[in-house]
Structure 1
Amino acid sequence: MTALPGRVTLVGAGPGDPGLLTVRGLRALESADVIVADRLGARGVLDGLAAEGVVLAAEVLDVGKLPGHHAVPQDAINALLVHLAREGKRVVRLKGGDPYVFGRGLEELAACREAGVQVEVVPGITSAISVPAIAGIPVTHRGLATAFTVVTGHDQIRELGGGRDHTVVLLMGIGTLAHAAMTLSRGDRGADCPVAIIEDGHGPGQRVTVGTLATIAHQAALRGVRSPAVVIVGDVVSLSPYAPSAIAEVSPRAAPCDA
């Protein structure tokens, strides 16, 4: 009997804490024949599930990417997903955070569809929101920040508009932190705009460094800040319990009460 065609499910692993994996994502992992996993977020979730006694029968293929070094090129990952699905396997592509937030998820989905492979997406919790949250920093707050932008350290930071009430969340930005801070300080945000760096947000090495656009690069160098880390820029940083008093004095502007 000819095997039924396989399928691919792109699952967002979240920021690395297995407790933040969605129920739908867990069910996909439990029914998978093969899990093609990223390094950040995905590996932490698999290890965490194993530590909690969750047994997954699937074979795990690690295609994890290190900063500056892609263990498996993206085209090869796309081809691997198609190949496994054509063998009739149920494939989970486990990606850190959310597949569609700097995760190249749409590229993988398009490659599968072009090859005639059935594919679906299970969203995940992005570190751009969840990591600031654990440090007490909302990306928006009534009367203080009405919008936020998520960028990477490779994006054109100088093209970002807005002031301190427009939160900037910078992913993969430690290597270019000094340049980003200097560029953002030249705009309406100013050199004294609060900044927070959260390392290893949901991991054992969690650490928060708070400063301003003028000081954060120097502080990060002194503390030996390393990736993975999320950088948050804007007045919302003042709400964090980690913020020093000089920054915490920034308070929400008066706003009308909710109706």
Structure 2
Amino acid sequence: MTVFFIGAGIGDADHLTVKAHRLISQADVIIYDALIDNQILQLVPENCLQIPVGKRGGKVSTPQETINQLLAQYAPVYKTIIRLKGGDPGIFGRINPEIETLQAINTDYELIPGISSSIAAPLLANIFLTEKENSHGFMVVTGHDPNLLNWQVLSQVDTLVILMGSKNLPIIVDKLQEYGRSHLFPIAIIKQAGNSQQQIWKGTLGNIVEQTVNISLSPCIIVIGKVVR
């Protein structure tokens, strides 16, 4: 018995790795997060047990302890258990508690990388995170709790990529301006990257909130830097 932690990548099944595609098509049990595309779920065998454990900010979420219990329940019984997470499982994937659960019951696991939205979404929006003149590097952070971040440091990064930041967009742009970024500094928001519902807004720290007022932006990636131009 092995539990495979698989990154579903970004968008539909076209963005899965070959290994992820093969394992999903052989699954006995698949425990999957909220943002998994239905096209990917159609790859599982007919007799596969499918268990949704969506975790979405601001909405009812499956407690982490419940997910741990599901893994402990099914891992000793079935041959191939898939724990399917959006993007890459190691990037804000809350993976440690689940691995610790498996280790406690001496169950094997394997980590299968996925294409992270932090890298793929900007590319799909024609934004290149590193450029010789405009960006010597980039930093990826979560915008879930802006008060935990060091904005004095972040305001100096060439290119900043923020996941899970839609709810706190006004705070994010205010913090960057407070620590020295101009109100004219470029910013982009990419929603539903990698599928037919993809939307892109480009603007500045001074006008992006007004551009997107009363629009539901989740799930989205925020890119801040000269590369947005």
TM-score norm. by structure 1 comes to 0.81
What is the number of residues matched between the two proteins? 226
Secondary structure of the residue aligned to 1:195 is: strand
Q: How far apart are residue 110 of structure 1 and its match?
A: 2.2
| Equivalent in the alignment of 2:126 | 136
Offset of residue 86 of structure 1 = 1.4
Query: Residue 164 of structure 1: CA displacement?
Result: 6.3
Aligned identity (percent) is 35
SS of residue paired to 1:191? coil
Report deviation, 1:196.
0.3
Paired residues of 1:199 and 1:225 also in contact (CA < 8 A): no
1:29 corresponding residue in structure 2 = 24
Instruction: Identify the residue that residue 213 of structure 2 maps to in structure 1.
Output: 221
Q: Determine the structure 1 residue equivalent to 2:117.
A: 127
Residue type matched to 2:59 in 1? Answer: H
- The aligned residue for residue 69 of structure 1 is 59
Aligned ranges for residues 106-125 of structure 1 at < 5 Å? 106-125=96-115
- 1:176 maps to 168
What residue number does 2:45 align with? 56
* Structure 2 residue ranges without an equivalent (≥5): none
Task: Describe the superposition over 1:47-100 as per-residue Cα deviations: whole angstroms up to 9, x where unpaired.
Answer: 2563xxx45342211111232234311111012112101123420000000001
Deviation (angstroms), 1:160: 5.0
Q: Is the 8 A contact 1:144 1:165 kept in 2?
A: no
How much has 1:158 moved relative to structure 2? 4.2
Give me the whole-angstrom Cα distance separating, in 1, the residues matched to 2:83 and 2:2: 11
Aligned to 1:231, what secondary structure does the other structure show?
strand
Q: Distance in 2 between matches of 1:165 and 1:150?
A: 10
Q: Output one character per residue of 1:203-254: Cα deviation in whole Å (capped at 9) or x when no partner.
A: 22211111111111111106x142111110011101xxxxxxxxxxxxxxxx
1:192 maps to a residue whose letter is: L
Of 197, 201, 204, the match for 2:196: 204
Question: Offset of 1:188 from its aligned partner?
Answer: 3.6
**Tell me, what secondary structure is at the counterpart of 1:140?**
coil
Greater gyration radius: 1
Residue deviations 1:86-131, cap 9 Å, x none? 1234200000000010011233222211221111100100001101
After superposing the two structures, state which structure 1 stretch, 86-95 or 183-192, moved more.
183-192
1:189 aligns with 2:178: no
Deviations along 1:7-36, whole A, 9 cap, x unmatched?
Answer: 200000011221110011111112210000
- Structure-2-length-normalised TM-score: 0.91
Paired residues of 1:165 and 1:235 also in contact (CA < 8 A): no
Change (3 A) 1:55 1:93: closer
Q: Which residue of 1 aligns with 2:95?
A: 105
Displacement of 1:162 after TM fit?
A: 5.0
Counterparts of 1:207 and 1:143, CA distance in 2: 27
SS in 1 for 2:110: strand
Residues 215 and 164 of structure 1, relative CA distance in 2, 3 Å threshold:
farther
Work out which of the residue numbers 35, 38, 42 in structure 1 matches 2:33: 38
CA contact (8 A) 2:3 2:109 kept: yes
In structure 2, give the amino acid aligned to 1:166: D
User: Is the Cα–Cα contact under 8 Å of residues 189 and 234 in structure 1 kept in the other structure?
Assistant: no
Which aligned segments of 4 or more residues in structure 1 are displaced greater than 4 angstroms? 162-165
SS at match of 1:205: coil
Show structure 1 runs of 5+ residues with no match.
Answer: 1-5, 239-259
For the pair 1:85 / 2:75, whether they are aligned, the reply is yes
